[in-house]
Structure 1
């Protein structure tokens, strides 16, 4: 009974909401939302404006990262509850248990039992088992209501955008209205079916209203599709266009007159979880690992593996690592990646001067690349230079930045001219910045016997399919070794952060430091030139985990050389690289 009490309370906390916000306007807004998600254009209409929000935000429907954790809580509750009932471990099927079980089951049905084979494959069996159990030992009306509720909303997920919408938090207020506060079986059934029927009727009448709203909507609230309207920018564009025309003579174009507006610089980094909480970590991992550039596996297969096995475990294990990182990084209990990227952006802005506007965006997480690009457009930047913070090219990193930048740019009617800084793995300014910062740091640490230059690894098959990443890494390592005047016996190259069972690039960093310890090497230094900003992989994986591996195998000290971060040498070098790419625009 104690376990039963604990699990019911846990589930009720997961599905509790503020009922004061539920009113007729929200019901109508939710109905309009469901009507819109049946088409791609309708979903974009309601989900996005120039700040990345639309009617959803106006209705208070947050696209938050809380659903993943709650769904997994519901799954666990379903499995436990079904098995407990089958083993007769619950003395009597109380009404409270039935209500909580139906809440979890209906919630799960909305997110998984749509026209998605993977959803039915992963979640269909426990949901069916619970329905049968409720019908046999409790009330058949509950099982019937749950099934009808699932079918009604599954019918709405007739598009890819609609199916994705079922996985975000916008469904939760509507679900809560359907299952809230019913004191009897009849009341619960009436609430479920009543909400379904009402919603379907409203959707039929609102569909035409959505089309009318598309034509009459205010431009500053919801963007036109497929391109955004930018009326505030039009007068500026007219002035800058006419500024290049001679006022006298033959009215020709003055080739010496530069285009108007400052040059935008978009600094792109990978991103991080905002907090070590399991829900935030789960959202970050899902966004990161569902990128097809990162994991080249059939999406439906990988989605099942990721959401069913990896994230439920790693959101807690990785959360502990991030908590340790945030506390020990010396950046005020915040992410060192965000801290240093922000400082780097400010320092580069000072080096470049007022002719440039520098913003940074994260490929995964916030601030996003889309929001950074929008900020540059608001600053009237007609030309944008993109700086991916990946010196060595890889399809898993650099190409993903390309994808996101142009995906965001295509939303605009007036797309700025875009240049992307090419891989700078052997650029003299980059190499000199590493040599200068590493030399200053290593001057404080004597008697270093070996130097390990560690890069983030990738699966070997990615390289065999044409990814030049290991060649770029080798070129960078050789240039650094030459700049540091290391002999061939003093340094070695390795790859870290292996994920999954596929063969990755070798040699592995953990195996390398282990072998050095066994060889009797006492003091080593590890450099991570592929990471421009210290993060979990540098501070924790190398500075803590691999340091322990080295000591356990006979070593005495592993010295981790800090990344470039926002060092003066690197900020000056980055500004030089950007200015080189801006030739002809200045």
Structure 2
């Protein structure tokens, strides 16, 4: 059988407090994040990373001095490897910190992979996430393999949806004791200008949320989509997660918050959702605040990833948009 390397793409995160500033520099020096030409982008990345580093160091200090994202991604890779078997090798490639894509490429070659299956751990496609990782991979890999297949997105993949619904249902069942809960699907925000250029991310977040609501099957479920992690003065897509918490306060309803675009726990969930927004909810007098976990290595999610590997183009033209199908050589 053909030896297939499965490349799991994720954002990456600093592995020490000393790595916070260079991690941020790598992030902001990405053309998909800041579109200015060089050397302007390099100068902006140096300035922004220097300015934001103290805040970010404090955040990662609350997480034990590093991001937990790599360990969680490695757990997902191991679980997927166990399902796929010896003819596959699952390799992690992070975008902004170790292990970088170049290391994953070298590992795939050394193993003797004949084909690669590129699998971003971003269910919803964006030019700023999957698009950036895939572009970098194609630049590095070129024609290194006999075949290269890409899973561009999977916002309504059944395993993903079942895993999210199971996690949510447990928290919703707790919240019902405090009144009829409102379910908040919180996703990382994007500048409106990126969406205006045709990026399908917001549409696919909406597809995921609707599919989870349908899977839950709760009559007259009260739910909304919101966006977190805004930075800078530009207009971002909304409503914001904080605005939805304020609305829940006015309506005097408990909330269940779930990350809809993150499949692993990291600073945006463990600090922003668990600590910062919980504090906001308490100050606003919301009756109760519950947070459903990310799908992480939930068996249904891992099974869903295995199904995507078995048929990487199954969702093409169905859940994904024109940009993600055509992006970066997909």
TM-score, normalised to structure 1's length? 0.51
Query: Which residue does 2:56 correspond to in 1?
Result: 318
Q: Is the 8 A contact 1:435 1:480 kept in 2?
A: yes
Alignment of 1:93-108 (within 5 A): none
Q: Is the 8 A contact 1:390 1:531 kept in 2?
A: yes
Indicate which of 478, 500, 523 corresponds to 2:232: 500
1:370 aligns with 2:102: yes
Query: Which residue does 1:25 correspond to in 2?
Result: none
Indicate which of 426, 437, 445 corresponds to 2:167: 437
Question: Structure 1 residues 569, 442: CA separation in 2 closer, same or farther (over 3 Å shift)?
Answer: farther
- Superposition deviation, residue 312 in structure 1: 2.2
Higher relative contact order, chain-length normalized (CA < 8 Å, sep 6+): 2
- Superposition deviation, residue 546 in structure 1: 1.1
- Superposition deviation, residue 387 in structure 1: 0.5
**Quick check: which one's strand share is greater?**
2
Query: Which residue does 2:27 correspond to in 1?
Result: 288
- Superposition deviation, residue 557 in structure 1: 2.7
**Aligned length, in residue pairs:** 312
Whole-Å separation in 2 of the counterparts to 1:415 and 1:348? 22
Max Rg structure: 1
Query: Which residue does 1:274 correspond to in 2?
Result: 15
Map Cα deviations across residues 20-46 of structure 1 (whole Å, 9 max, x no partner).
xxxxxxxxxxxxxxxxxxxxxxxxxxx
Query: Which residue does 1:383 correspond to in 2?
Result: 115
Whole-Å separation in 2 of the counterparts to 1:481 and 1:407? 39
Q: Is the 8 A contact 2:171 2:290 kept in 1?
A: no
- Superposition deviation, residue 298 in structure 1: 4.0
Map Cα deviations across residues 131-162 of structure 1 (whole Å, 9 max, x no partner).
xxxxxxxxxxxxxxxxxxxxxxxxxxxxxxxx
Q: Is the 8 A contact 1:547 1:557 kept in 2?
A: no
Structure 2's unaligned 5+ residue stretches are: 315-330
Map Cα deviations across residues 147-187 of structure 1 (whole Å, 9 max, x no partner).
xxxxxxxxxxxxxxxxxxxxxxxxxxxxxxxxxxxxxxxxx
- Superposition deviation, residue 545 in structure 1: 0.9
Secondary structure of the residue aligned to 1:387 is: strand
- Superposition deviation, residue 556 in structure 1: 3.6
1:571 aligns with 2:302: yes
Whole-Å separation in 2 of the counterparts to 1:342 and 1:442? 29
Whole-Å separation in 1 of the counterparts to 2:85 and 2:168? 28
- Superposition deviation, residue 442 in structure 1: 4.0
Whole-Å separation in 2 of the counterparts to 1:554 and 1:454? 20
**Quick check: which one's helix share is greater?**
1
Alignment of 1:426-575 (within 5 A): 426-447=156-177, 449-486=181-218, 490-521=222-253, 523-575=254-306
Whole-Å separation in 1 of the counterparts to 2:107 and 2:77? 14
- Superposition deviation, residue 582 in structure 1: 8.2
Alignment of 1:152-301 (within 5 A): 261-277=2-18, 280-301=19-40
Query: Which residue does 2:141 correspond to in 1?
Result: 409
Whole-Å separation in 2 of the counterparts to 1:416 and 1:457? 37
Q: Is the 8 A contact 1:292 1:299 kept in 2?
A: no
- Superposition deviation, residue 515 in structure 1: 2.4
- Superposition deviation, residue 524 in structure 1: 0.8
Whole-Å separation in 1 of the counterparts to 2:21 and 2:92? 23
TM-score, normalised to structure 2's length? 0.89
Query: Which residue does 1:40 correspond to in 2?
Result: none
Q: Is the 8 A contact 1:433 1:573 kept in 2?
A: no
- Superposition deviation, residue 517 in structure 1: 1.6
Map Cα deviations across residues 1-60 of structure 1 (whole Å, 9 max, x no partner).
xxxxxxxxxxxxxxxxxxxxxxxxxxxxxxxxxxxxxxxxxxxxxxxxxxxxxxxxxxxx
Secondary structure of the residue aligned to 1:581 is: coil
Whole-Å separation in 2 of the counterparts to 1:582 and 1:468? 17
